[in-house]
Amino acid sequence: MKASTAAAKLEIYLPAAPEEFQGSTVTREELAALQQDPPPWLVELRKNGPHPRSVVAARLRVSTSGLARAGVTQPLTTAELEALQAAPPAWLLRERRVFKDVRAQEQRLRERDAAEGR
């Protein structure tokens, strides 16, 4: 698979990975090995970032669309995420409410569909 696909599966920001990883193709066996026994660079990237949008959104408990609406388009480091969580700006509080409401609505629809036998 392409390095970009492997990076997505490893939940890392590809431009922050070592150049030899960025320019390589990764087999499924190599991906499994990276997941089972990550090298130091992968441990460091996962711990401190920069993190891709999907990880940033998950850690902030918002959607990736919410990040875009707030103008957060760049990857963030763990320190930046911790700072946002410690003193959440208005946009973060608003997007968390939106995300929570959407999840609740999706749950209601799943329950309704289950009750109707869909």
- Tell me: pLDDT of 88 over 90: yes
| Torsion sign across C-alpha atoms 83, 86, 92, 98 | positive
Rounded Cα–Cα distance for residues 103 and 1 (Å): 32
* pLDDT per residue as tens digits for the range 6-64: 999 999 999 999 999 998 999 999 999 999 999 999 999 999 999 999 999 999 999 99
Residue 118: pLDDT above 80? no
- Could you give the maximum distance between any two Cα atoms of the chain, in Å? 53
Could you tell me the pLDDT band of residue 117, with boundaries at 50, 70 and 90?
confident
Alpha-carbon Rg for the chain, nearest whole angstrom, is 18
Q: What single-letter amino acid sits at 52?
A: P
| Domains in the chain: boundaries | 1-48, 51-118
